[in-house]
Amino acid sequence: MNCGGRTPATILCKYCSACLTVTPGERAIQCAQCCGVTRIRCSMRLPLPALPRPAAAFPCTRGKKRAVLIGITYAGMRRGCGELRGPINDVKCMRQLLCQRFGFPSDCIIMLTGKLPTKDNIRMAMQWLVQGCSYGDSLVFHFSGMGAQVPDEDCDEADGYDEAICPMDSFQKGPILDDEINEAIVRPLVHGAKLHAVVDACHSATVLDLPFFCNMSRSGNWQWQDHRPPSGACKGTNGGQAVLISGYSDGKSKFSVVGAMTHSFIKAVDCEPCGVTYGRLLTSMKAIMTNGGGSCNLQGPIGAPVRKVANFSGVQEPNLSSSEMFDIYRKPFAL
């Protein structure tokens, strides 16, 4: 429904009826009053402008290990809601973990915090991450911030909803939907290239739109589920592997769960020995979440900031999804 002039186009928020300005080319827009996400009808979408070239701050180095780390507090952006308190520490801790534990070169890591995590910058960072990927590349995408759900319109979601991450300017330009994330950083992965995504946001369980989903069954074992889209759309890679580690929450506590999933991931990785399997890592993460932080006493520059970021209200357990099924009790986790 158009509730204003033709330039710019406007629609009503599906949830609170606020008038929202439609950004050219976008598929959804987020309301600054209620934080709800409203789909934009195809007839209202204008062509999406081409992305500008990456900013000069983006590294020119093309190492075999590269990472994009995004932390958004939404300071001053959300009406009636305080800013998130964990994302900046999440990003700093992830950077330390990648550099100290897994040998990622510091000049091959992009950090987007403060005013940098705009929709355009996140899109360019995702493009930078996978551009020219080749055999042996280990890539990491980490997001700590708000997530959202949007009604699906192309019949590729079993639950009828697309998941999304919310950039800093989500209230002006809308969230980034899982369809776009999958196209940007999953499908370009060639044989021998590996991507690990760690997403700390509500509604993030399947935010990479990967075809296979693993969670804990009632019997206490981690089991795979086939989440290939009913439409038959291809959501896999170009021969590589993509893995998403995310935290399950019901969305009711979405403004307080930030930090819990990142904290449990970092703590589990640091407490477990090298060569830990994915199954053992997930079980350790779940135990840390259940125990409100766990008993492992992290030491050194990683441990100190980690102890300050966890907030465990809302996240019940970790989830894993992947572009392919594998034996999580035998395959070692490595970045």
**Could you give the CA distance from residue 333 to residue 79 in angstroms, rounded to a whole number?**
41
Residue 308 Rama label (left phi>0; alpha psi -120 to 50; beta): alpha
Domain ranges (residues) in the chain: 10-39, 82-296+311-322
Residues 6+ apart with CB under 8 A from 43: none
Helices (H) and strands (E) in the chain, counts: 7, 15
| Among 75, 80, 72, 76, CA closest to 18 | 80
Measured N-to-C along each axis, helices 260-271 and 87-102 cross at an angle, to the nearest 10 degrees, of 20
pLDDT in tens, the chain (335 residues): 445 444 568 888 878 878 888 877 777 888 877 778 887 776 554 555 565 555 546 777 779 999 999 999 988 775 545 678 788 999 999 999 999 999 999 999 999 999 999 999 999 999 999 999 999 999 999 999 988 888 777 666 666 678 999 999 998 889 999 999 999 999 999 999 999 999 998 878 889 999 999 988 888 889 999 988 777 778 899 999 999 999 766 555 444 444 778 888 999 998 888 889 999 999 999 888 887 654 444 444 455 444 444 443 345 688 999 999 999 999 999 99
Q: Are 159 and 178 in contact (CB under 8 A)?
A: no
The upper half-sphere exposure of residue 231, i.e. CA atoms within 13 Å in the direction of its Cβ, equals 11
- pTM reported for the whole predicted model: 0.86
Q: Is 94 exposed, middle or buried (0-12, 13-18, 19+ CB in 10 A)?
A: buried
Encode pLDDT of 272-321 as tens digits: 888 899 999 999 998 888 876 544 444 444 554 444 444 433 456 889 99
Tokens of 253: 């506590």
Q: For the domain 82-296+311-322, what is the CATH code?
A: 3.40.50.12660
